[in-house]
Amino acid sequence: MAMDYSYTVACVGFVLLIVFNLSYLGNAAENQGLGASFIFGDSLVDAGNNNYLPTLSKANMAPNGIDFKASGGKPTGRFTNGRTIGDIVGEELGQPKYALPYLSPDAKGKALLVGVNYASGAAGIMNATGRIFVNRVGMDIQVDFFNQTRMQIDNVLGPSQAKEYIMKRSIFSVTIGSNDFLNNYLLPVLYIGARISQSPDAFIDDLISHFRVQLTRLYQLDARKFVIGNVGPIGCIPYQRTINQLNADQCVDLPNKLALQYNGRLKGLLAELSENLPGSTFVYANVYDVVMDVITNYDKYGFTTASVACCGIGGQYAGIIPCGPQSSLCKDRSMHVFWDPYHPSEAANLILAKKLLDGDTRIISPMNLRQLRDHGLG
């Protein structure tokens, strides 16, 4: 009997596709259950998306990335001297590679199965946040981008296996909110920040309302395991200390009060979503308390300063102009809590990442990140 050659080729292709899918999911299982790492947020976790935008918020110039081994010390668009928290957590949870920036031309095909980074410097929950930097990818657009990724993963794995991969084996981390205060509500009237028309309560109501919609959209796209970082003590960053001419042990009161008010509402929102979205797990990461502890007790963590930026220009704390080729650079980057006027050093990121990975419920609840990785896998 004559054999239908096209039928045979199709069957072989189908078998190979199944083998690829099962082998990749098997590799994920060998990585202690972690599938993809999907990272959303702002410059604290941006891995280079802003390199592809015409924006004033960029970190693609030296000495940024000077300690980033994967690039040989060359800048990648990360707003720190080495790895971000997202990079470190991915390593610890078994990721074979760093999640690529969504806007990178390499973020396609099988590369998506490791994860994708959607974070963008100057981004916020609100679309107006960060507009003084001209361009950035706000949280609404980041969710739109994930929708595109979601369809591409269907094409790579097939709809059924893609759904399982996303729902059971992938973690969605969101680090956003700081810019909604620093580069929106707290902007001087000259820049028409939201403070000119809204009370703090009304603005935070808006933040929570928008964030609820954004997280629910991710859930509708099959996200199930979430870790959401609260807003850190933004009144203690070198920029705030410099422009307000504070002593080294002082922080600006209003930004920290706003952060704490928002954080309380955020915790309630995550409890609400966990209850109302079946099968979801929303983990609340108490970044504020961890960072405040490091800032207050910096010497106990091995730092020599928590007020002076390692890389920057202007004022007592090098806190006016972000890190770039003309900036002063400290001698020992591991001795500084802050890399630049706004962002932690890799040494500080390592401390925070470790606490989120293995901390108790005072730091991260209802479970830490290692527990979240394995949650629901049986």
Show the tokens assigned to 233.
Answer: 């003590």
Q: Is 140 tagged catalytic?
A: no
Q: Are 175 and 40 in contact (CB under 8 A)?
A: yes
Q: Is 43 tagged catalytic?
A: yes
Integer Cα distance of 250 and 230 in angstroms: 21
Contacts of 164 (CB under 8 A, 6+ apart): none
Chain centroid offset of residue 24 CA: 25
CB burial class (10 A; 0-12, 13-18, 19+) of residue 148? exposed
Q: Considering 42, 67, 87, 340, which one is annotated as catalytic?
A: 340
Contacts of 303 (CB under 8 A, 6+ apart): 294, 335, 336, 337, 347, 348
Nearest alpha-carbon partner for 162 in 151, 178, 147, 171: 151
Q: Considering 42, 67, 280, 343, which one is annotated as catalytic?
A: 343
Structure-token match 């630049």, residue found: 340
Q: Are 266 and 230 in contact (CB under 8 A)?
A: yes
Q: Considering 37, 43, 170, 178, which one is annotated as catalytic?
A: 43
Q: Is 336 tagged catalytic?
A: no
Integer Cα distance of 70 and 189 in angstroms: 42
Contacts of 21 (CB under 8 A, 6+ apart): 157, 158, 161
**Phi/psi at 233 (nearest 5 deg)?**
-75, 80
Active site residues: 43, 340, 343
